[in-house]
Amino acid sequence: MLVSTLAILLVSVRAAFNPLEHSGPASPYFDAPEQFGIPADTPAGCTVDQAAYIVRHGSRYPEPGSFAGWQALFNKVQNATFSVQPGPLAFLPDWTPPVDDAPHEPLFLTSTGAREAFDLGVQLRKRYRFTPGGSNFTVWSAGQQRVVDTATYFLRGYLSQGNYLSAPTLNRGTAFVLPDSVNFTFADSLTPSTSCPNYPSGDTGAASANAFRSSFQANVAKRLNAAFLRGLTLNATDIGPMMDLCGFSDEIDGDDRFCDVFEPSEWLDYEYAHDLNYYYGSGPGNPFSNTVGFPWTKAVRDLFVVGPGKAPEGAAFIPPPLIMGFTHDNNIPPVVSALGIWNTSIIPGVYPLSHTKPNPLRNFRASYLVAFRGYVALERLTCSTVPTSARHHTAGQQGSTPIGRPLGTFVRVRINDAPVPIPGCTSGPGSTCSLNKFSAHVDAQGLRAGDFAQRCGVTQTNATSDVTFLTRQPDTARGESAVVLSVP
């Protein structure tokens, strides 16, 4: 009876505070909570006719460095003779790292990551209804395998319909793969920071995060050591790997025991260390962040201005109404910087983020932005007033009357599903921004970002400061390729 009561209490606590929603880049995907009071539903009277997403790859196995930390923790436990009291740490003597194919698994997509990508494909097909049955569809991907795999699983979810094995020209997905981590693509890339020589000089994220971790990890270790009767002593350097294992173990094999080891206040400190890492590393706190995020943002703005089914003059390729780009975690915050969001507040003292004291009023949170399969999305909406009189349908005629009065075209931003207002531009339906004002906003942000090649200190004469890959064919001479996927 006591065990059942404790189990119920534990479930209740976890339901009220979920560590998996405070684990930064180790969080399996979850929808960010509503912010600024803006509901996620498309505003009444509006239809999304074009959208652009830049998406982190799905859940993966650890990087080699992280895996080495898990192995070190495992070896420390296995080489100790100790006793542990009943409670959240009682599983430790039987614990093994959640990687059973070490030569292959680190860095690659997990089954959870594949499902996250597939689910996003299904979700966006249903949300926008852009692609009729049998239509072909193109997405863009950075070059590392986990990113390409995310793109292809997304395509499978988006295009899974009917059986087209006997129709080889129909229902094909194409992943336009751009080279990853090279210095000759410049801004025309889904990993532009690697082509910006000055970018690392503005990165203080790791130092800021490590300094903040040093303020709490030793105390956490001291608290946990009270559970050991003898033989094992945890130290501050053990705490990081243990907290990482909450998210990773859950998404790899469903083991969430590490999630229950730490208290909510400790999870909030862990989360804030990641916030600092991304804010000052690749987000608004890095002065070159908006420079590397602006070219993609401008390219999407240009496509929104001409509208779906069109492309700017001289383009060789017209992208689909749903523009999907797949990349890595550090390439998501620069888009936030380029849009000028999550870096201003009417309440003083929120931004820039404090290096020592988390402000609970901040909206910039790594867990909401760079969780596995996290994304920033821009939507183009065509809106009309909602009719207040009765609607009438005439037999044999599709549609009904009366229709609302046209209001115009608007833009809104979603981050992990939650709408986020564009500063100073929220007068449209559902706090959206008119397309004209959004275009002007992007131009103003471009003045802050500067020219990519000049500001980044690129010296090559052939350097480009623009994103062109959305409106052209792959260039094999640049290491680009097209992966065609048949989805029966």
CA dist 97 to 66, 149, 260, 351, 435, Å?
Answer: 11, 24, 17, 38, 50
22, 57, 274, 441: the active-site residue: 57
Residue 57 annotated among the catalytic residues of the structure: yes
Architecture of domain 23-59+109-202+287-388+403-488: 3-Layer(aba) Sandwich (3.40)
Nearest CA to 364 out of 322, 335, 326 is that of 335
pLDDT > 80? residue 8: no
pLDDT at position 94 over 70: yes
Tens of pLDDT along 257-277? Answer: 999 999 999 999 999 999 999
Contact 298, 466 (CB under 8 A): yes
For tokens 């070059």, name the residue: 143
410: which strand partners? 381, 434
pLDDT, tens digit, for every residue of 133-150?
A: 999 999 999 999 999 999
Pinpoint the alpha helices (H) of 62-195: 64-78, 111-128, 145-159
* More confident site: 260 or 404: 260
Distance CA 364, CA 336 (A): 9
Confidence of residue 29 (pLDDT cuts 50, 70, 90): very high
Q: How confident is the model at residue 403 (pLDDT cuts 50, 70, 90)?
A: low
Q: Token pair of 8, please?
A: 């119920």
User: What tokens does 48 get?
Assistant: 């999304």
CA dist 136 to 57, 65, 150, 172, 312, Å? 22, 40, 18, 5, 22
157 and 122 in contact (C-beta within 8 Å)?
yes
Give yes or no for residue 218 having a pLDDT over 90: yes
Q: Alpha-carbon distance 70 to 205, whole Å?
A: 23
Indicate whether 6 pLDDT > 50.
Answer: no
Residue showing tokens 């990349």: 327
pLDDT at 307: 97
| Span between the terminal Cα atoms of the chain, in Å | 52
Read off the pLDDT of residues 40-69 as tens digits, 9 standing for 90 and up. Answer: 999 999 999 999 999 999 999 999 999 999
Peptide bond into 423 cis (omega under 30): no
Q: Model's pTM, two decimal places? A: 0.94
- For 127, phi and psi rounded to 5 degrees? -65, -45
Q: What is the pLDDT of residue 404?
A: 73
Residue pair 153/159 in contact (Cβ under 8 Å)? The answer is: no
Q: Answer whether 346's CB lies under 8 Å from 15's CB.
A: no
Helix (H) or strand (E) holding 51: strand 46-56
Say which residue, 97 or 394, is predicted with more confidence.
97
Phi and psi at 438, nearest 5°, equal -65, -45
Please indicate whether residue 441 is annotated as part of the active site. no
322 vs 104: which has the higher pLDDT: 322
Per the prediction, the chain carries an average pLDDT of 93
Give domain limits for the chain.
23-59+109-202+287-388+403-488, 62-91+204-281
Residue-level pLDDT at 265: 98
Q: Which single residue is written with the structure tokens 């033989």?
A: 231
**Catalytic entry in 149, 180, 329, 441:** 329
Q: What is the pLDDT of residue 397?
A: 81
Q: Rounded to an integer, what distance in angstroms lies between the CA atom of residue 350 and that of residue 208?
A: 16
